[in-house]
Amino acid sequence: MGQPSWMNMGTTWTASSPPSSKAGDTVGVVRREDGTLHFFVNGMTQGPAAWNVPPGVYAVVDLYGQAAQATIVDDVEVTPVPEPLPEGNNQVSPSSPSSGAGGSDLRFHQLHGSNAVITNGGRTALRHNCRSEFNDAIVISNRALRDGELFEIVIQKMVDRWSGSIEAGVTAIRPEDLEFPNTMTDIDYDTWMLSGTAIMQDGNTMRNNYGCDLDALGTGARIGMMRTSKGDLHYFINGQDQGAACSGLPPGKEVYAVVDLYGQCVQVSITNATGPMDNSLATSNTATEKSFPLHSPVAGVAHRFHSICGKNVTLEEDGTRAVRAAGYAHGLVFSTKELKTEEVFEVKVEELDEKWAGSLRIGLTTLAPGEMGPGAGGGPGVPPSLPELRTKTTWMVSSCEVRRDGLLQRMNYGRNLERLGVGSRVGIRRGADDSMHILVDGEDMGPAATGIAKNVWAVLDLYGPVRSVSIVSSTRLEEPEGTQPPSPSSDTGSEGDEDDEDEEHGLGGEDHVSIMPTALEFLENHGKNILLSNGNRTATRVASYNQGIVVISQPLAPQLLVQVRIDFLNRQWTSSLVLGVITCPPERLNFPASACALKRAAWLLRGHGVFHNGLKICEKFGPNLDTCPEGTVLGLRLDSSGGLHLHVNGRDQGVAVPDVPQPCHALVDLYGQCEQVTIVSPEPGAASLKSTGTQGDMEKADMVDGIKESVCWGPPSAASPLKSCEYHALCSRFQELLLLPEDYFMPQPKRSLCYCESCRKMRGDEAHRRRGEPPREYALPFGWCRFNLRVNPHLEAGTLTKKWHMAYHGSNVAAIRRVLDRGELGAGTASILSCRPLKGEPRGGFEEPGENCAPPREEQPPPVLLSPSLQYAGAETLASKVQFRDPKFQRTHQAQVAFQVCVRPGSYTPGPPSAILREPPDPHFSPAELEWVTKEKGATLLYALLVRVE
């Protein structure tokens, strides 16, 4: 702005504004004690305009020409005007003297954001054009803060035009090296800021709901910041310490105070309180509106209950004791701070009210207490009981049950909390492996739940008989130096290892696959419903069913496998996670509600399909990702030619997308059922990802169809019981309707195995295998579900696993029980075990003997029809269909049953099919050997019951 022209008109002094003035500019006038008259434009002094101006003058404004309206914006006493600067310098040096300066030499630095103005000898900072500009007004201290030194400012002016307000913090970047961004939270290194209630480090939110809210402060409020000698950053509001906002500021490294005059905040000044503090007074013992103080006057107690609590709760003894004053519910209490890794939050039961039933409930929640309502005595968002706390993810133990968001996850855990008495101690701990542990009287009950988020608060429900508790935990752990990586999954091994040394199921000539050697993590830029934990290696969708996109921060390098494990599924939704890659930089990408809405540079695997920029380019690729159970490990890999491979539980499913541009980043969309995933890496020396046979290292007695019996398709029992694929669940419900004795079947986890398309592709099952001496090929029962039968203990184990051949026999539900009672296919099963004449129509039973035919001898059982292919043995003419109503969904289905049997070599005669089929027989087998017929008694051994449902 150019220098205005001045003129003296008798006893009137005026200044005409230059033509460049515009709406929003501020113009001020000050008469100094020495009689000089100073004019200000947008807070910047224009130097002395006149001298010897007498006292008792009035300010006057002439709305002339283009100026049609003016508003008084500051009628308070003006701070002293700085001494004149050398000509040509329009910014005040931070070392300029000021008559109002305190004892500290801290000032605002002469370097600042483009919209900031420094005045008053470096003690005042303002944002000019405050009604048309809301940012680019960062100011920084002129020197680094000393340990224990307070830098305090007072808000002098605000506008109501914008949302958001002042942001304050410290940075280790020297002012000379700082390229001032639009806002300080855009800085991605060596910077710690408080924005609203969020503590942010390097632009990323470290924690929410700190003890104060900068957006709620008004004119006259004082904000201070101080780094302690231990490297903690403390904030002070109106002189009261709000506790440690964060720890771990680099020791010995200089940090500068930084203030962002953002949004509503227009002007601040450094107060006289700025300077060294008496550290014994640095912490206030007065509770703030949002929480109790971090440091307590009660010796030896580190924890406090948050002032947000159930409406029937009264907090006593400075927040260390909680009492339910009435009723049996509305007794929720929370920890004041987030629970750190391996930190124990423990309480002692003090009073019981025996007229109520139930138990104390204890758990962890990702919901910050401050989000539920202000003030003690129950905010509007505090539910009456812990199972109803479902706004965000909550894990809890009640009695001896473990629940997640109110849904039962596990029964018979630890000691029953209903048996607690007066004096009993109950604690909770979040382990370094993201597990939740409950401690009763100091004894760890073991992991109650896994996949716990990093930012969690302890929560207790004073429910039923437990009327009051007191905090007894006395160890306040320091923040760990680093986050331990998650333990590799041990339950996701390949299920398709073969038991025949002559058969290979690898991809010949396939590129060597390596495991990503560096620690991977998810990018901080993600969908708005995502919460990252475990060193950003675990992603949890904490609300709704979408807005759950996460991207792995490191680019996907050729021949390096990136894997994630499905930790938790929510069955109330349909569909599930989406996996893929994007080739655009993800750091600044504004993610849509779901990955399918990405219309640029995106290749995705969803369900059975492959999509490019929202359009389906391939159908029926690999397994159906919507049916992946918990514990499934999914991986992506780029081969040397740029082809994108999908791996499921270590098995390569082939090229999903050829020629993917590079660099690219792996993307996961936690959509629908999928609510949590974790980046995993196999242990050193784990099974090779080349799908070659490794049966030589396994005990033959542990192998079933070349599949290790201890590996059952379905989630680990400790994770989430009875959550398998929907087809497996449907077949299991039909099998239960048959009312067969449980003693006939193998116990869990060896009871069943699903061969639906998704399950068998996830295991990498080959369609055919070889077995017996001499080896003979048979087909796996694709499309069926297998229920393993107990082996006769009097039989040699090697009979089943090595010497005998494998075959199938079609049956019907009417005779299953008779077959199981007998233990083999043979006499007494005439209604199902039919051998068709080579020339004639197939029938449902044996031929009735002619009148001139003698009955068969007892020792000569009727022939039994078998086949190495279930496509033939399971045809409708050989395995009749039956209708049934699903008891769960009340839908009508058709079902078939068959038996998988072991056949003694040499006891049967191969031949062509005798049954008339609606579809061609299995082309893999020679038609001359598709049907096996045996007449020998004891030639077959029952191995499994097979079920197929349509």
Asked if residue 854 has pLDDT above 60, the reply is no
Asked if residue 886 has pLDDT above 60, the reply is yes
pLDDT band, residue 711 (cuts 50/70/90): very low
Residues 313 and 197 in one domain: no
- DSSP per-residue letters across 372-422: G-SSSS--TT--SSGGG--SS-EEEEETTEEEETTEEEESS-SS-GGG--T
% residues pLDDT > 70 (the chain)? 76
Rounded-to-integer distance, Cα 692 and Cα 504, Å: 6
What is the value of pTM for the model shown?
0.34
In three-state secondary structure terms, 745 is: strand
Q: Looking at the domain assignment, is residue 506 inside a domain?
A: no
pLDDT band, residue 467 (cuts 50/70/90): very high
Task: Give the pair of three-digit tokens for residue 478.
Answer: 């320091």
Mean pLDDT, residues 608-632: 84
Q: What is the pLDDT of residue 703?
A: 36
Rounded-to-integer distance, Cα 668 and Cα 674, Å: 10
**Around Cβ 704, how many Cβ atoms within 10 Å?**
20
For the four alpha carbons of 20, 24, 25 and 28, in that order, the dihedral sign comes to positive
pLDDT digits (tens, 9 = 90+) for 571-583: 778 788 999 999 8
Name residues whose C-beta falls within 8 Å of residue 89's C-beta, 6 or more positions apart in sequence. none
* Cβ atoms 623, 649 nearer than 8 A: no
Mean pLDDT, residues 124-149: 89
Q: Which of 473, 240, 223, 445 is nearest to 348 (CA)?
A: 473
pLDDT band, residue 171 (cuts 50/70/90): very high
* Cβ atoms 155, 76 nearer than 8 A: no
Task: Give the pair of three-digit tokens for residue 173.
Answer: 């970047």
Task: Give the pair of three-digit tokens for residue 18.
Answer: 């230059």
Q: What is the pLDDT of residue 926?
A: 86
Mark which of 618, 649, 680 sits at the end of a domain: 680
- Widest CA span of the chain, in angstroms? 148
Residues 622 and 736 in one domain: no
* Cβ atoms 678, 564 nearer than 8 A: yes
CATH number at residue 875: 3.90.228
Asked if residue 419 has pLDDT above 60, the reply is yes
Q: What is the pLDDT of residue 485?
A: 33
Query: What's the Cα-to-Cα distance from 246 to each of 15, 166, 234, 285, rounded to whole Å?
Result: 51, 19, 8, 19
Structurally, the chain folds into a number of domains equal to: 5
Q: Looking at the domain assignment, is residue 427 inside a domain?
A: yes
Q: What is the pLDDT of residue 848?
A: 41
The count of residues in the chain is: 950
Asked if residue 257 has pLDDT above 70, the reply is yes
Asked if residue 512 has pLDDT above 70, the reply is no
Q: What is the pLDDT of residue 842?
A: 39
Mean pLDDT of all residues in the chain? 76
* Cβ atoms 399, 382 nearer than 8 A: no
Q: Looking at the domain assignment, is residue 282 inside a domain?
A: no
Q: What is the pLDDT of residue 785?
A: 93
Q: What is the pLDDT of residue 21?
A: 67
Rounded-to-integer distance, Cα 291 and Cα 591, Å: 34
Q: Find the range with the poorest average confidence among 3-12, 16-25, 314-323.
A: 3-12
Residues 52 and 129 in one domain: no
Q: Which of 526, 527, 306, 540 is nearest to 434 (CA)?
A: 540
Q: What is the pLDDT of residue 853?
A: 46
Q: What is the pLDDT of residue 51?
A: 76
Name residues whose C-beta falls within 8 Å of residue 712's C-beta, 6 or more positions apart in sequence. 748, 749, 750, 751, 752, 753
Q: What is the pLDDT of residue 669?
A: 95
Residues 326 and 420 in one domain: yes
* Cβ atoms 361, 438 nearer than 8 A: no
Asked if residue 276 has pLDDT above 90, the reply is no
Residues 535 and 594 in one domain: yes
Task: Give the pair of three-digit tokens for residue 885.
Answer: 């109503």
pLDDT digits (tens, 9 = 90+) for 80-122: 444 433 333 333 333 333 333 345 788 999 899 999 999 888 8
- DSSP per-residue letters across 602-647: EEEEETTEEEETTEEEESS-SS-GGGPPTT-EEEEEE-TTS-EEEE
**Around Cβ 434, how many Cβ atoms within 10 Å?**
26
Asked if residue 381 has pLDDT above 80, the reply is no
Asked if residue 187 has pLDDT above 70, the reply is yes
* Cβ atoms 930, 909 nearer than 8 A: no
Q: Which of 946, 621, 650 is nearest to 783 (CA)?
A: 946
* Cβ atoms 595, 604 nearer than 8 A: yes
Mark which of 270, 295, 328 sits at the end of a domain: 270
CATH number at residue 146: 2.60.120.920
Residues 142 and 62 in one domain: no
Q: Which of 759, 673, 646, 672 is nearest to 712 (CA)?
A: 759
Q: Looking at the domain assignment, is residue 524 inside a domain?
A: no
Bridging pattern class, strands 233-237 and 240-246: antiparallel
Task: Give the pair of three-digit tokens for residue 151.
Answer: 């830098």
* Cβ atoms 630, 719 nearer than 8 A: yes
Residues 731 and 815 in one domain: yes
Q: What is the pLDDT of residue 659?
A: 85
Residues 112 and 57 in one domain: no
Q: Partners of 268 in the beta sheet?
A: 125, 155
Q: Looking at the domain assignment, is residue 525 inside a domain?
A: no
Q: What is the pLDDT of residue 861?
A: 60
In three-state secondary structure terms, 519 is: coil
Name residues whose C-beta falls within 8 Å of residue 782's C-beta, 6 or more positions apart in sequence. 755, 757, 760, 765, 767, 870
- DSSP per-residue letters across 469-490: EEE-----PPPPSSPPPPPPPS
Residues 620 and 746 in one domain: no
Q: Find the range with the poorest average confidence among 90-99, 173-182, 238-247, 470-479.
A: 90-99
Asked if residue 625 has pLDDT above 50, the reply is yes
Asked if residue 247 has pLDDT above 80, the reply is yes
Rounded-to-integer distance, Cα 253 and Cα 382, Å: 43
Mean pLDDT, residues 901-921: 83
Q: What is the pLDDT of residue 277?
A: 62
pLDDT digits (tens, 9 = 90+) for 753-803: 888 887 777 777 788 888 888 888 999 999 999 998 887 655 554 445 568
Residues 247 and 363 in one domain: no
Q: What is the pLDDT of residue 18?
A: 59
pLDDT digits (tens, 9 = 90+) for 347-372: 999 999 888 888 899 999 998 888 87
Bigger pLDDT: 260 vs 303: 260
Residues 548 and 597 in one domain: yes
Asked if residue 827 has pLDDT above 60, the reply is no
Q: What is the pLDDT of residue 724?
A: 53
Mean pLDDT, residues 335-358: 89
pLDDT band, residue 142 (cuts 50/70/90): very high
Residues 327 and 389 in one domain: yes
pLDDT digits (tens, 9 = 90+) for 519-539: 789 998 888 888 888 888 899
Q: Find the range with the poorest average confidence among 16-20, 460-464, 807-811.
A: 16-20
Name residues whose C-beta falls within 8 Å of residue 540's C-beta, 6 or more positions apart in sequence. 366, 393, 451, 453, 530, 531, 532, 533, 568, 670, 675, 676
Q: What is the pLDDT of residue 860?
A: 57
Q: Looking at the domain assignment, is residue 455 inside a domain?
A: yes
Task: Give the pair of three-digit tokens for residue 837.
Answer: 């004449």
Q: Looking at the domain assignment, is residue 58 inside a domain?
A: yes
In three-state secondary structure terms, 567 is: strand
Q: Looking at the domain assignment, is residue 479 inside a domain?
A: no
* Cβ atoms 438, 427 nearer than 8 A: yes
Mark which of 76, 98, 127 sits at the end of a domain: 76
Query: What's the Cα-to-Cα distance from 9 to each of 12, 46, 623, rounded to whole Å?
Result: 5, 20, 90
**Range of the structural domain that residue 549 is part of:** 530-680
Compute the half-sphere exposure of residue 500: CA atoms within 13 Å on the CB side of its CA: 19
